[in-house]
Amino acid sequence: MAKQKKAPRPKAETPKGFRDYFGHEVTTRAEMLRQIAGVYHRYGFDALESSAVETVEALGKFLPDVDRPNEGVFAWQEDEGDWLALRYDLTAPLARVYAQHRNDLPTPYRRYAMGPVWRNEKPGPGRFRQFYQCDADTVGSGSVAADAEICAMLADTLEEVGIPRGDYVVRVNNRKVLNGVLEAMGLGDDQDKRDAVLRTIDKFDKVGEAGVRELLGKGRLDASGAYIDGVGLSDEQAGPVVAFLTSKGADNAATLTNLRAAIGGSAIGGEGVDELEQIADLLAAQGYGPDRIVIDPSVVRGLGYYTGPVFEAELTFEIFDEKGRKRQFGSVAGGGRYDDLVKRFTGQAVPATGVSIGVDRLLAALREKGRIEAREVGPVVVTVMDRDRMADYQAMVAELRQAGIRAEVYLGNLKNFGNQLKYADRRQSPVAVIEGGDEKDRGVVQIKDLILGAQIAETATLEEWKDRPSQFEVPRDQLVAKVREILDAHGL
């Protein structure tokens, strides 16, 4: 009888496009989510936690990565035949929630949601298939005041988490203005050409005005020397697009004037410019000037999805890329008005507007600016000198915790005391507490300042440290007070 082969051990590795998050990463994200939620709550938005799994029909649209299974979402078929999928954003579930519970919800319904989303996309550097989003939306209001409020809230949120004025700008545009430009071009109902123009507009940041002109016309050579076919428009037809993309003026008033010229006599375009003017006026009345929120026609995000105002938060400070080149950090949030999403469920138009913040990108930005410490301070470690006196050590740690101090008892191998201090060092602990039999008999404890001890160890001379001991002997009843004193001295 052949010997049965053992099953191979599974590889201990994360799937491609996913990663694990450890202590400090989790706590800093949780703190940021708490700060963002505080701003959203202050603006009157209610929390919503919807299911991470939706039916494929409820999600409605798939992502554009059609080369992936299930067109960009993680989906599977139930035994009953229904197809389910992990949510790829937090907006599609909101549309389903509102349609399902609209009779029980206030109108407008203002909600915020935070959590992971999943996209079955090709992974790459800095591009993960699970990431956090932080959304706020108003459903059931067609007023541009709702759009202006979202922009103001976005600015407040960035400042709340540590991005000061001058390091960000919220840029606002309107899909209706672009529709007016397309009308002024005389494209009529030629959807293929309209889509081609939209794709070209989306390349403005990369190829500039001259490149857009070439792509709207006969075409152009790209950086590799390959020829890219153009849309085939005449210079006269392309004129409104170029005027639209280059219409940003010295202030909002000048920009709006330029936009009115770009749309010609288009009624829908005029409606879009009027809405932008109302948004600018509403924001100015609240003290949000163009140093924080500005009308900017170059914002062309999701133009096939949004139906009115669109906005994007961009961080304007410079960072160095992986090749050492300076570049702006870029976008960390975006959103806009999407009045057709709920209609899929109800058959009736339901106006909605909202914003989504990329939490992981915001955290990365704060790290770049040095506003998040690279390492987290660990707990105070109470060492164990006598395994039979574990109750004494647990009493110590309980006193520290009751005083609001993060603390733990060492619960590892007790054979080598040096391992306990190595453990405390690895945990980045600020303080170690030591009580052996001698200390117990005398009613004292030893308290070791590990932060100061590490500084002394790194210094070539002890001269500057001779008046600053790193270990203290104090009465047992002064344990908490002395630990607090050391933590306060280090600003912890």
The answer to the question of whether 89 is labelled as a binding residue is yes
Residue 247: exposure state from Cβ atoms within 10 A (0-12, 13-18, ≥19) = buried
Cα angle value 425/431/436 (rounded, 5°): 95
CA 76 from chain centre, in angstroms, equals: 28
- What is the spatial distance between Cα 459 and Cα 380, in angstroms, rounded to a whole number? 24
Strand order of the β-sheet with 352-358 is 46-47, 109-118, 130-139, 352-358, 326-337, 309-320, 168-174, 293-295
The answer to the question of whether 446 is labelled as a binding residue is no
- What is the spatial distance between Cα 218 and Cα 226, in angstroms, rounded to a whole number? 14
The answer to the question of whether 40 is labelled as a binding residue is no
CB of 68 within 8 A of CB of 121?
yes
CA 8 from chain centre, in angstroms, equals: 39
The answer to the question of whether 119 is labelled as a binding residue is yes
The answer to the question of whether 107 is labelled as a binding residue is no
The answer to the question of whether 90 is labelled as a binding residue is yes
- What is the spatial distance between Cα 274 and Cα 259, in angstroms, rounded to a whole number? 10
Closest CA to 200 of 169, 229, 157, 159: 229
How do beta strands 130-139 and 219-221 pair? unpaired
The answer to the question of whether 487 is labelled as a binding residue is no
Annotated binding-site residue numbers:
89-91, 119, 133, 137, 301, 305-306
Annotated binding-site residue numbers for L-histidine:
89-91, 119, 133, 137, 301, 305-306
